[in-house]
Chain A
């Protein structure tokens, strides 16, 4: 089975802190994604990556950056956390065929106080 692991399930951070959310997948997938989930808004794409060291902006990249130094790891970075970034963050991965399934991690609940 595909496994997408988000290392932190629940985090509480202070406004202005730098926050790292880590994601690792074990299926040698080329594509990796970071989504944000908010009630009533569904899932919104923050960033995605089609290869190592490659990144593309999604629908809501402002206030976020990403890093993909190794194929299996995709990190989401909040340079200076703000309260409006309190949310559920979901990492996902898939191999390069667009008809294939995207697999999700269990999610990281971030609260910024």
Chain B
């Protein structure tokens, strides 16, 4: 079974400082990895994804994430945090169909609340 771990329930960072939101995954086969953001009382918005190719993926609002196969991680990063980045962040994984596995179901982590302090 596939799984995603976001080890921190909450991350606090000062405005202007770099931020990291951690994500590790477990999957049989090659992973497709996603990050979503959720603002209060809203649905999930897509930030970025890793499918194949360059391990460093750039996404919306200045966010990026690095795929590390040996550490099975896909941490979300931003060089300089903004107060408006404060939100709930979800990491998700599914199996590449080319891995030979049958399930394309997307599995989410429990979420990390990011608070950017002015």
Interface flags, A11-48, vs B, CB<8A=1, else 0: 00000000000000000000001010000111101001
CB distance from A50 to the nearest CB of B (A): 9
CB distance from B72 to the nearest CB of A (A): 18
Interface of A is mostly: strand
Task: Write out, one digit per residue, whether chain B residues 9-20 have a CB within 8 A of any chain A CB (1) or not (0).
Answer: 100000000000
A58-B105, A103-B46, A107-B43 known; A98+B110 contact, CB < 8 A: no
B106: interface (CB < 8 Å): yes
Contact A41:B110 (CB < 8 A) given known A104-B44, A107-B41:
yes
> A103 contacts which chain B residues (CB < 8 A)?
46
Q: How many residues of B contact A (CB 8 A)?
A: 24
Chain B, 36-74, CB within 8 A of any chain A CB: 36, 41-46, 49, 51
Chain A, interface size category, equals 20 to 34
Question: What are the interface flags for B85-118 relative to A under an 8 Å C-beta threshold, 1 for contact and 0 otherwise?
Answer: 0000010001111000000111011110000000
Whether the pair A107, B42 counts as a contact (CB closer than 8 A) is: yes
Bound together, the chains give a CA A105 to CA B45 distance in angstroms of 9
Q: Do B32 and A99 touch across chains, with their CB atoms under 8 A apart? A: yes
Q: CA separation between A105 and B51, bound complex, in Å? A: 23
Task: List B contacts of A43 (CB < 8 A).
Answer: 44, 90, 108
